[in-house]
Amino acid sequence: MSNKAKAATADDQIELSDSDDSEIVGERQISDAELKSITEALIFVADEPITAKMIAQVVKVDREAIEKVIAELANDYEAGKGGLQLREIAGGWQIATRPEFHEQVRAYLKSKPSAKLSLASLETLAVIAYRQPVTVPEILEIRGVQSPSAIKTLLDKRLIVAKGRKETVGRPMMYGTSKEFLIQFGLKDLSELPSIEDFQDLAGGVE
């Protein structure tokens, strides 16, 4: 083999070795600032509240690192005193408008044409939200009118779910609110349910 051929072979081996090393090293390191920006972007584009675990899986970093930058982001939004905040909702995180601006936001949303819940559906949802788990006969007793169509509407909109059967005569189905309900109303959990008056005001904008 000529000296030129030997040199070419050596170069090829060096290039191959470099390639192998790069594969072993894997993905590049993400700085804290970049991780913070990526996390904010993912929370913003998510259709529903996204968990720290999901973000960690997407970015391929430890969950603890994501929880740290989420806490920093929440502090940043709070310190900025802007129109948005980072809130924990239904077990995940979502960028939402501040409570002090809800009146103006609701006024805007109400000005948009939409297929809002009927009065019967709103009343039924309120009963379920504050009395859950509750059966159809119990809803009838509270409202004084039948609610089959309202129950179907709320199930179709995924605002309520079946919670099993009550151990009584006829074993009627019990209903309660869903994760989608928490998302629609911007609630971390049911402990954040507002007063009935405020609930009915908020529910007026639910499609």
Longest dimension (CA), the chain: 100
* Rounded-to-10 torsion of CA 63, 66, 71, 73: -160
Backbone angles phi and psi of 189, in degrees to 5: -160, -175
Identify the architecture of domain 32-97 in CATH.
Answer: Orthogonal Bundle (1.10)
Amino acid (1-letter code) at residue 9:
T
Residues in the chain: 207
pTM > 0.75: no
pLDDT in the model for residue 170: 84
Distance between CA 181 and CA 157 in Å, rounded?
Answer: 9
Distances (CA, A) of 109 to 60, 105, 112, 132, 206: 38, 6, 5, 28, 9
Q: Where in the chain is the domain with CATH 1.10.10.10?
A: 32-97, 104-203
Question: pLDDT above 70 covers what percent of the chain?
Answer: 78
Give residue-wise pLDDT tens across range 31-90: 999 999 999 999 999 989 999 999 999 999 999 999 999 999 999 999 988 999 999 999
| Beta carbons within 8 Å of 60's beta carbon, 6+ residues apart | 27
Q: Which residue has the higher pLDDT, 162 or 27?
A: 162
Asked whether the CA dihedral 70, 75, 81, 87 is positive or negative, the reply is positive
Instruction: Categorize the per-residue pLDDT at 113 as very low, low, confident or very high, splitting at 50, 70 and 90.
Output: low
Q: Angle between the 52-59 and 63-80 helix axes, to the nearest 10 degrees?
A: 120
Q: How confident is the model at residue 15 (pLDDT cuts 50, 70, 90)?
A: very low
Topology (CATH) of 104-203: Arc Repressor Mutant, subunit A (1.10.10)
In percent, how much of the chain has pLDDT > 90?
Answer: 44
Of the candidate ranges 97-101, 165-169, 201-205, the one whose mean pLDDT is the lowest: 201-205
